[in-house]
Amino acid sequence: IKHIAVFTSGGDSPGMNAALYAIAKAAEKNSIKLTGIKKGYEGLIDGDFINLEAHQLQKLTQKGGTILKTARSKRFMELEGRKKALKTLKENNIDALIAIGGDGTFRGLLAFSEICDIPVIGIPGTIDNDICGTDFTLGFDSAVNTAIENIDKIRDTAESHNRVFIVEVMGRDSGYIAIYSGLVVGADAILIPESAQDYIQLLNKIKNYESEEAFIVVVSEGDELGAELVATKIKEMNSDVELRITRIGHVQRGGNPTALDRMLGIRFGVAAVEALIQSKKNVMVGIVKNQLHFTPFEEVIKQHQINNELKQLLVLFEK
């Protein structure tokens, strides 16, 4: 391997810059040229490239977002776009590719693998933690920490007014951010897309709620009902409650990555370069039981599950 190109794609997530730094460091150590591709698959198609060196990236591990910028590309969904991307790689003598992104990115990589003879390694970068083949995705821990910082603040005002708050967190179709943040802030109810039972428990609880304290509901944005409908149902069940809705939103995507995410970025980045040197291709690097783990792209995009232990915790804490 003489020349690696790297891009970030889909929603940005804290820790992506740390991964870029690690990739640059490992490339430098192995005398491999490193090219950064701007704006994900869009830049791959158009040849929007920059030179990347470790010393430029060293101080950026603390920064959220991605210095390469990112995008969700419609053109790459078409075969025409993917062919153009491959041509661009070849014209620039790039002989290996690293992609950092979430499930949309991996769907793109799987489609690309049908025509691409250049080895590709993926890094799971998304706040949603919804990727198979890794215990944690890059950015999840930071997003959860941002969510809990915000919910803790909401609790202050909720307790002062004895209000019910419905707090919506991100995660797309995954309830991971809701479970982690809801449990550690001591939420009274946590609603996730993976469970229908949680809603019934919430209604049972709210029936007996006597407006003498705060009541915090954390709801995942992908939950079937959604914050508005949950609010309506709560009001129907107990018309005495004073209720407010807060959507934490994109704040969860930004901010300085936590130590855990910086470290995850560093481990993923170095492992991706080493995997290419060891002739691995079309796999994602993940961490399972604290060990590096490689998963083929077709496995990565399978339906991600919440493990049973976490589901049991929800049942226990929501009673």
Structure tokens at 49: 């490239």
By C-alpha distance, which of 134, 78, 99, 107 is closest to 301? 107
Min CB(126)–ligand F6P separation in Å = 5
For position 73 contacting ligand F6P by CB under 6 A, the verdict is no
Our CB check for ligand F6P shows the closer of 141 and 188 to be 141
> In this structure, what is the dihedral angle of CA atoms 195, 200, 204, 207, given to the nearest 10 degrees?
120
| 171 known ligand binder | yes
Report the distance separating Cα 173 and Cα 187, nearest Å: 20
Q: Which of residues 182-241 bind ligand F6P (CB under 6 A)?
A: 221
Among 5, 52, 127, 231, indicate the residue that binds ligand F6P (CB under 6 A). 127
Among 35, 105, 106, 128, indicate the residue that binds ligand F6P (CB under 6 A). 128
Structure tokens at 106: 């991996």
From 53-61, 83-91, 110-118, 126-134, span contacting ligand F6P (CB under 6 A): 126-134
For position 124 contacting ligand F6P by CB under 6 A, the verdict is no
Our CB check for ligand F6P shows the closer of 14 and 171 to be 171
For position 171 contacting ligand F6P by CB under 6 A, the verdict is yes
Catalytic, out of 12, 128, 130, 223: 128
Find out whether 68 and 8 touch, Cβ atoms under 8 Å. Answer: yes
152 is known as an active-site residue: no
Phi and psi torsions of 143, nearest 5°: -65, -40
Count CA within 13 A, CB hemisphere, residue 68.
41
For position 168 contacting ligand F6P by CB under 6 A, the verdict is no
For position 15 contacting ligand F6P by CB under 6 A, the verdict is no
For position 150 contacting ligand F6P by CB under 6 A, the verdict is no
Among 17, 70, 73, 126, indicate the residue that binds ligand F6P (CB under 6 A). 126
DSSP state, residue 171: -
Strands 3-8, 96-101: pairing is parallel
Among 19, 23, 99, 170, indicate the residue that binds ligand F6P (CB under 6 A). 170
For position 11 contacting ligand F6P by CB under 6 A, the verdict is yes
Report the distance separating Cα 213 and Cα 308, nearest Å: 31
Min CB(25)–ligand F6P separation in Å = 27
Find out whether 278 and 118 touch, Cβ atoms under 8 Å. Answer: no
CA angle at 99 for the pair 264 and 113, rounded to the nearest 5°: 135
Report the distance separating Cα 255 and Cα 149, nearest Å: 12
Our CB check for ligand F6P shows the closer of 64 and 171 to be 171
What are the DSSP calls for 124-146, one per residue? Answer: EB-TT---TT-SS-BTHHHHHHH
Q: Which residues are catalytic?
A: 128
Interface residue list for ligand F6P (CB under 6 A): 11, 102, 126-128, 170-172, 221, 253
Binding residues: 11, 72-73, 102-105, 126-128, 155, 163, 170-172, 186-188, 221, 244, 250-253
Binding residues for Mg(2+): 103
